[in-house]
Amino acid sequence: MTRLPMTPSQTVGPYLHLALAWEDGPYAVPLRTAGAFWIRGHVYDGEGDPVTDALVETWQAQPDGHFDHPDDPQGSGSSAGFRGFGRCPTNDHGEWAILTMKPGVVKDGSEVAQAPHLDVSVFARGLLDRVVTRIYFADERDANESDRVLSPLPEQRRTTLIAEPTDDGYGFDIRLQGEHETVFFSV
């Protein structure tokens, strides 16, 4: 009987890119929703090459700042068709895109306001676990300056969390390592 070698431990990818995507995953809101926009970007590895088998997942509050979830300290609400959750695999160029609406200011249980943001998880080959970051919006400067997560970061690192306006929404690239690495949070 032939003995096969042990199977090496696995990272989170690339199978998540294939198994966790679904047809309307990139749509946190339905097409043609008033106020909807695209947030688009790339995922890059430490060498600056596109990651073609990553999965980007977003979770966010509704435009009024509420989450459609019973644990929301402000109380849950619901906007018609707003899912607040998007999931998009990267393509052959490392690109991803999610159609959404800008979240409102979120207050936590102590009434401290958080600037409008999207919570983001990235799954990719070579990662032992997902990495977690946030996307803030360049045109929310006042709210960003008082955000208790964003404002303490050094300016150079803070810019890695800011999405810039584009013709049809916002652009936001995710850099997993290297120069200009995106800030990731321990959760």
Q: Where are the domains of the chain?
A: 15-175
Phi, psi for 44 (deg, rounded to 5): -120, 145
- Print pLDDT tens along the chain (187 aa): 677 666 555 555 555 555 666 678 899 999 999 999 999 999 999 999 999 999 999 999 989 887 765 555 555 555 667 788 999 999 999 999 999 999 999 876 666 789 999 999 999 887 778 899 999 999 999 999 999 999 999 999 999 999 999 999 999 999 999 989 999 998 7
Architecture of the CATH domain 15-175: Sandwich (2.60)
Residue-wise DSSP of 117-162: EEEEEEE-TT-SS-EEEEEEETT-HHHHHH-TTTTTS-HHHHGGGE
Q: Please give the Cα distance from 40 to 94 (Å, whole number).
A: 11
Q: Across the strands, what pairs with 38?
A: 99, 169
Q: Please give the Cα distance from 24 to 122 (Å, whole number).
A: 18
Q: Across the strands, what pairs with 169?
A: 38, 166
Scan for tokens 């402000």, then name that residue. Answer: 74
Q: pTM, whole model, 2 decimals?
A: 0.85
Q: Please give the Cα distance from 138 to 136 (Å, whole number).
A: 7
Q: Please give the Cα distance from 148 to 31 (Å, whole number).
A: 33
- Structure tokens of 90? 């990267």
Q: Please give the Cα distance from 23 to 86 (Å, whole number).
A: 11
Contact 176, 128 (CB under 8 A): no
pLDDT at 15: 55
- Structure tokens of 18? 């294939």
